[in-house]
């Protein structure tokens, strides 16, 4: 299973979607400012690139300009687009958060440095 789990609300997420597609959608009113800004910058860059070249942005553009940071934010427990759209969802207990962390470290497709999540 390649999904990671939000440590605040237990929402499962697909790593590829988070890294390469999620910021095309608004991350929510309660999202940290860098993700709202990354979303807006991504849309502007797409419009500009399409106007100039008639093509969409290369796929790695999303990952480099916010997708990678979004994955890490969810992994470290900063919330996710589900929490940010509806903050009442962020009701996990410490046990739920620890279970999500365990899953993300050992049962997901994420292959980063475990020290980054502590």
Quick one: average pLDDT of 75-91? 93
Quick one: average pLDDT of 32-47? 94
**Residue 2 — very low, low, confident or very high, per pLDDT cuts 50/70/90?**
low
d(CA 6, CA 90): 9
8 Å CB contact between 10 and 91:
no
**Which letter does DSSP use for residue 88 in this model?**
G
Quick one: average pLDDT of 46-73? 87
d(CA 38, CA 85): 16
The predicted model scores a pTM of 0.87
């Amino acid at each position: 299973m390649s999904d990671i789990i939000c440590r605040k609300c237990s929402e499962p997420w697909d790593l590829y979607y988070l890294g390469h597609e999620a910021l095309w959608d608004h991350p929510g009113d309660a999202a940290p400012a860098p993700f709202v800004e990354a979303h807006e910058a991504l849309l502007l860059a797409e419009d500009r690139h399409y106007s100039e070249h008639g093509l969409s942005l290369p796929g790695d553009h999303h990952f480099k300009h916010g997708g990678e940071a979004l994955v890490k934010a969810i992994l470290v427990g900063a919330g996710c687009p589900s929490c940010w759209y509806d903050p009442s969802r962020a009701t996990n207990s410490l046990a739920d958060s620890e279970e999500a962390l365990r899953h993300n470290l050992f049962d997901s497709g994420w292959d980063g440095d475990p020290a980054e999540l502590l």
